[in-house]
Each structure stands twice: as structure tokens, then as C-alpha cells.
Amino acid sequence: MSSTVAEICRNAKTASREVAKLPASARNAALLAMAEALLAEAEPLIAANADDVTAAKGAGTSSTIVDRLTLTEGRLASMAEGLRSVAAQEDPVGEIERGWRRPNGLLIEKVRVPLGVVAVIYEARPNVTADVSGLCLKSGNACILRGSSIATHSNTAIVDVIRRAVQTEGVVADAIQLVGDTSREAALELMQAKDYVDLLVPRGGKSLIETIERHATVPAIIDGDGNCHVYVDAAADPEMATNIILNAKTQRPSVCNAAETLLVHSKLAGTWLPSALEALSAKGVEIRGDDEVRRIWPDAIAASKDDWSAEYLDLVLAVRVVSDLDEAIEHINIFGTSNAEAIVTEDLSAARRFTWEVDSGSVFVNASTRFSDGGEFGYGAEIGISTQKLHARGPMGLRELTSSKYVVWGQGHIRT
Amino acid sequence: MSSTVAEICRNAKTASREVAKLPASARNAALLAMAEALLAEAEPLIAANADDVTAAKGAGTSSTIVDRLTLTEGRLASMAEGLRSVAAQEDPVGEIERGWRRPNGLLIEKVRVPLGVVAVIYEARPNVTADVSGLCLKSGNACILRGSSIATHSNTAIVDVIRRAVQTEGVVADAIQLVGDTSREAALELMQAKDYVDLLVPRGGKSLIETIERHATVPAIIDGDGNCHVYVDAAADPEMATNIILNAKTQRPSVCNAAETLLVHSKLAGTWLPSALEALSAKGVEIRGDDEVRRIWPDAIAASKDDWSAEYLDLVLAVRVVSDLDEAIEHINIFGTSNAEAIVTEDLSAARRFTWEVDSGSVFVNASTRFSDGGEFGYGAEIGISTQKLHARGPMGLRELTSSKYVVWGQGHIRT
């Protein structure tokens, strides 16, 4: 019989106090034990997963989702490797971010501490179950996992394995709990457990984000849209510009850090742009352009205002010719979603202005927007990319799963 | 004719882009000009304030609130001094918090940037108008101020003066705007302007916080309750312990960092505690104790469970004898509100455990909880004390009015 959301929340809060007290050595050992256990228990894990896969196929689930759902020995090995990589990260807990002595002699330290209970609501991929458990435990938090119903057998089996593994290293099993009830009601209850949940991270599509924006009373970090831009400046290296827009648009079009709009300085409209559009078309990219683009490239579809806001997640690219850097920055600040934007230029002054004035979570100079990613930043497994400004912005690592506390040392100090 | 909330929000967003581009020198010069102007315009400001004071007195407003509302030359001088002190603070904008080079050569910088538009809803005291304007402008933000109706003439006059002052230094006036409409509807509209407001800071009582928790869709930082604790350990210096609890309880009982509960190690129950209770009683403090306290001090009222959760904001103190440090920590973690807690001890190991295991925004060793304050931390004027864990926790300074952005430098990097 699985626990209710209320029971899970209470147990997580209690467990979080225990986990917060553990030294990094114990937390790291638990992550390594989790990795070992996933490999040792590959057979029963894959068997449990097969139940989900069979049911999903029977229900006519799309092959993309069935593929995401499927566990293999190789994927379990990746999950184990992910946990080892997180274990090898620097410990975020206890770091003294800043410290100073006041004129009256008080010594103030700002210390990084665990958040407490982190809840994550996510979709089909069972690897998230291990990734999130590892990230939360490494950062001294208890976690509550709420996966989707189609992965219930897989998630139950994975959580069972990793709970037993962490216990062998003296970590309380309730530091990692799965919400067995995959109903909408249970998800809503979790979103509103504000006495227990210190942070909710939704990893899902627009409808999950909207539900959270409407109903959550617990603090949440939104992993939102990615309408990413590449701006090719007048002083761009033409070959580099082509490589970067091709990579940003076509290397994996379905992800949030893929480029959706290309902005081109007018000086390159008659020179670099036609060759770039040819290279993009050759890769199957549909071009939606403004009037100037369509003069150069008559095959382009006329871009509407919606195209500047669109997150296609597909082989479609909106293209606009801008008169200067200011117009490019203004366009991005109006239409961007604060995920990732890139400039291609050899002009240091243009690069400095772009990085300073573009309002986005990640701003790249001469690099593809596809690098807006926790793994590429060196953060180990990824908890998400925040498109909000409070607490965390851009790819989130272990530090973003912590809060802070002031520790103040006196010698009988009183206020007068 | 005053602007609508919608107009104010749009203008603030536009202004915030301008302000974010200003170098620190321009922002600092604007703060100094604001300070000068408050002094130069003292006469008309005090005259405008007199209209509010007269109306408030006529409406039978309590003398405490009338006092908070009243502007004098001395208070204007303090406001000017506060602005100068904020101008003298280190610039939080542009600070590279961290930076590292990836194995592929990408150079990643995490840079502090302004939030954008900060809205503040506050009560009677007109000095907040100048403080908040200064803090927001210094940190590169535009601000939207929504004061209470009883301070309308004062706030309008102050904002008028400081808007003119910042313009003399090339800062757009709409970086500082006052919502003239003090209706509840206008406040709700501001709380829900999520396309414009990047942070809302409520500075007010429980009912304002509740309204925000229920209705706000913009990100908010809650400046919440203060059920603060002083724990006197077995190894405390008795005189220091008495001084600290007297200071924490009686120096200014009406504020959120005043102590509300005293926890005493049982070893001191028969020795230090009676003398401490005598000293507290002599200062007019009403004692509400557990059974053991009442055996020692029969005048004590029996503490109910509500007393452990109470924020008296008055000369009342809940007192409990605990058997050890664990019990003290557990009590605080159950009943505390994460504002400020203190231990008095000469035992380094007890101090280390207390500071590590107590879950609170500020934890003091041998110092009064009254130091949980932006000014005492050296942050200049105060924006508030966060009792939440996300983004900011404890006294907030200029850094807490900023977000971050990743700036990533490559040389044609693409993902493979």
C-alpha cells in the first residue's frame, strides 16, 4: 500500500533534517551505492520497465515517448555514470559564500545550506528518477518524486533499488520518496504542501507549467520556453556564423536551447545570408523571413509577428535582417524567453554590448545556444534550465538546490 | 491626472532597460542628487506631510502611526544620509560571482545583473519611499512604489522631488514611480502584473502578506513573522546570557527580530534562570513558562502550545527549560519562523552544532537576535528580512535586488 501525499510530505520533512546533518562523505558514498545498485539490479529493473513499455505500446503511445520510456543496460549505465559524476562535484553545502567583520567586531558568514524538501514533477523518462534523487541527496535535500503514470513500474522499481542502496550508507530511506498516486489530485496536493515542500521543480510541458502557475502555493522554479536567438553581426566570421546557426538550429531541433530566430546585420544581407540560407535549406530547414529576407530568398515564407515569438522545436527558422546591433538587442529583449542567445562577431565592443544589454539567462559569444545546458556547464546531471529571474537563472546546478543562512559570531554583542 | 497601474508598469519596464545600462557612477550621482534634493526641498516636503498628518489625526489614527507618518527636518536628514550610505555601497551590478573554463575552452562567467522592475507595497512611513528608491536605483532597477493612502501627500511630494533630482544626473524619471491610486484594486493589479514586475517586496503586516500569498502572480519575497529564540546553553557566561536576553526581549519589543522565546538548559534552571527572570520582570516582561519554569518562578503564567508559536511583539516572553542542546534545536526547528535565533555559550562544539542544525535565516552565537537587520549587517538602508528560502534569506541587501546571467565566451564552439 503506497503512502498518501500528506504522509510522504511529513516523512520527507523529517528525513530532510537528517540528510542536512550528513557530511559530504556520507552523501557521496550514498550516491556511489545508488550507482552500484542500478547496475547490480539491471535485470529486475529492465523487467519492471518492460511492463510499462508493453502497456504504453498497447495504449498506442507514440514511438518517441516509448523510446524515452525504455530502459536498457546502456541507459542504466548512463544513469549510474550520471550519479558518479554528481558525486564527484564539489559539495555545495557549507560553502561560505561571503564573510566579513563589522566595525563592532561581529563576524558575519553567509553559508550555503540545503533547501530541505525538493519535489520534482516529471514526465516519461525514468532516468530523471535517478538523476533527481542524486542531485537532491548530494545537495543535502530530501526529495519527493512524482513521475508520470506510464512509468509507474519503472519508477517504483528504481526508487526501491536506490532507497535500499542509500540505507547501506546510513542515509534514511525517506530522503527519496516516490508519489505512487499519479492522479492529478495527488499532483495538486503536492503543489500546495507549502508547510513541507521548500522547492518544486516541474520538468514537463506547457500544461504542467500552467497548472503550476495557477495552483501551486509552494515555491517553484519554472523551466520555461526557449525562443533562442542567434545574431550574426556585421563583423562576424562568415564560416563560424554558418557553423553556429546550423548547429543551433539543426543539431537537435526539439530541445529548448535550439535557435528559433536568426537575426542578421544588414551589411551581410547580400553576402553571407544567401549562403547561410542555402546551407540551412539543404538541412531541411524551412525559412520564414521578413521582406528583406524574401527579396534575397524568394522561397522563404513571409514571417508574421507570431513567428518572432514562436518556439518551433522543429526544422523551422524565423529570419530577420536588422539595421544594427541596437535593433538586434531590442528584438531579443522584446521576443526572447530569457533562455539562451548568441552573437557571432569578431568585434569586441559589439560582443561586450550584446552580453551586457541582452536580458537572458545565458548569452553566448561565438558559440552555439545549444551549450545552455547543465552538463555543458559542468554541473553533472541536470535539474533544469530556469527562465525566471529569482533564485536561479539559466542552467541549474547543485548550488541552485541550496539556500543560505547567516551565521553571526559575537562576544556578548547587544544593540544599543 | 495620475497614471494607471498598467501605464506605470509599462513605463517602468522601459525605464528599467535604460537604468540597467547606466554605469555605477551615474547611479551613484543620482542617489547623491536625491539626498541633496530632500534637504533642499525640506520646507515643501514638510508642508505636504502636514496635510497627511492633519488628516490622519482628524481620522483618529493612533499616535504610533501618526508618529511614523510625521516628517521632520531630522527625519529628512536621516533619509538623505541613508541615500548617501547606499550610494557608498559596493556596486552589486556586473560582479562576476564565479567564472570557469570548460575542458572544451568555453569560458563561463556568472554575472550579477539587475532584476528589472521592483515593486514595493508598504505602509505609513514615508522614509521608505526614499530608501526603496535609492536601493532599487543603486542596484540598477526601476521601482514602482505603492504606499498607503494616509501618506499620499507625503509620498507624492517625495517622489516628485527625487524624480526631478535623478533627471539632473541623466536618469530617466520613470525609473521611480508612485502608484497614486491607493485602492485595493490597484494593489491587486500590481500584484498580478507578471509581464512587468520582476520582484514584489511587501513591507507590511499579516493581512498584506496573506493577500499576496493568495493573489500575487508576480514573484514576491515575503518579509514574514519573527518568532525568534534565545537558547542559553549549560556553558553560557551567565552575565552575557542575561544581557543578551534582556536586549533581545526589551530593547525594542515591537520589531520582528525581538526574542519571543527563551530556552534554558536544565543545568541552569536553578541557578541562572531565577536571576534572569527577575531581571526580565524588573523590565516589565510578563513570563509564560512551562511547569519547570513555574516551579522556579511561581508568578509565571502557564505556557500553552500557542505560546511557543506566538510572535508577541510586546513585553511578553515564553520560557522553557530543555534537557539538552538537541531539545533546544528541535524546539526552534518546530516553532521558529526562520528569522533569527541565538545561542549563548562558551562551548565551541555546542555553538558549531547550533549554527549548523538550526534552520533559520540568521543564527547568532553570543549576540542578540536584534542584529538580524540590514543596517547592522552593513547593507545600508534596508529592503526587508526574508523569511523564505528561495532567492534571499535573512536581511536583504543590494545583492538580493539582483539576478544573474551567464556570459559564455567561445571561438566558434558548436555541440557535437
pLDDT in the model for residue B197: 97
Contacts of A391 in chain B (CB under 8 A): 390-391
pLDDT in the model for residue B56: 96
Mean pLDDT estimate for chain B = 95
As given in the structure block, the three cell numbers for residue A389 are 529571474
Q: Residues B114-147: pLDDT tens digits?
A: 999 999 999 878 999 999 999 999 999 999 999 9
Q: CATH 3.40.309.10 spans which residues of chain A?
A: 228-371
- pTM comes to 0.92
Contacts of A404 in chain B (CB under 8 A): 393-394
Q: Is B411 on the interface with A (CB under 8 A)?
A: yes
To 5 degrees, how large is the angle CA A189–CA A190–CA A192?
65
Burial class (CB in 10 A: 0-12, 13-18, 19+), A331: middle
Nearest residue in chain B measured CA to CA from A217:
B213
For A293, left (φ over 0), alpha (ψ -120 to 50), or beta? alpha
Q: Measured between CB atoms, which of B20, B393, B403 is closest to A393?
A: B403
As given in the structure block, the three cell numbers for residue B96 are 562576476
CB contact under 8 A, A368 and B414: yes
- What distance in Å separates the CA atoms of residue B113 and residue B17, rounded to the nearest whole number? 11
The distance from CA B327 to its chain's CA centroid, rounded to whole angstroms, is: 29
Q: Is B250 on the interface with A (CB under 8 A)?
A: no
pLDDT in the model for residue B1: 46
Measured between CA atoms, how close is B312 to chain A, in angstroms? 20
Contacts of B343 in chain A (CB under 8 A): none
Q: Is B215 on the interface with A (CB under 8 A)?
A: no
Residue predicted with more confidence, A403 or A384: A403
The distance from CA B190 to its chain's CA centroid, rounded to whole angstroms, is: 20
Contacts of A405 in chain B (CB under 8 A): 359-363, 393-394
Interface of A with B in 278-337 (CB under 8 A): 333
pLDDT at position A13 over 70:
yes
Q: Residues B173-183: pLDDT tens digits?
A: 999 999 999 99
Helix A24-40 with A127-138: angle, nearest 10 deg: 160
> Testing the interface with B: which of A353, A389, A393 to mutate, by most B Cβ within 10 A?
A389
Q: Measured between CB atoms, which of A100, A356, A406 is closest to B361?
A: A406
pLDDT at position A124 over 80:
no
Contacts of B407 in chain A (CB under 8 A): 355, 362-363, 365
Please state which CATH number belongs to domain B5-221+396-407. Answer: 3.40.605.10
CB contact under 8 A, A390 and B391: yes
Interface of B with A in 341-370 (CB under 8 A): 355-357, 359-368, 370
% of chain A with per-residue pLDDT over 90: 89
pLDDT in the model for residue B123: 84
Measured between CA atoms, how close is A171 to chain B, in angstroms? 17
Q: Residues B211-259: pLDDT tens digits?
A: 888 888 899 998 777 899 999 999 999 999 999 999 999 999 988 999 9
Please state which CATH number belongs to domain B228-371. Answer: 3.40.309.10
Residues 6+ apart with CB under 8 A from B363: A405, A406, A407, A408, B340, B341, B342, B343, B354, B355
Q: Computed from CA positions of residues A221, A223, A224, A226, in that sequence, does the dihedral angle turn out positive or negative?
A: positive
User: What average pLDDT does the segment B102-112 reach?
Assistant: 97
CB contact under 8 A, B360 and A405: yes
pLDDT in the model for residue B2: 67
Q: CATH 3.40.605.10 spans which residues of chain B?
A: 5-221+396-407
CB contact under 8 A, A415 and B377: no
B4 CB-side CA count, 13 A: 6
Query: Given pLDDT bands bounded at 50, 70 and 90, which one contains residue A1?
Result: very low
Q: Residues A54-68: pLDDT tens digits?
A: 999 999 999 988 998
pLDDT in the model for residue B206: 80
pLDDT in the model for residue B183: 92
As given in the structure block, the three cell numbers for residue A375 are 552538463
Q: Is A59 on the interface with B (CB under 8 A)?
A: no
Q: Measured between CB atoms, which of A102, A243, A405 is closest to B378?
A: A102
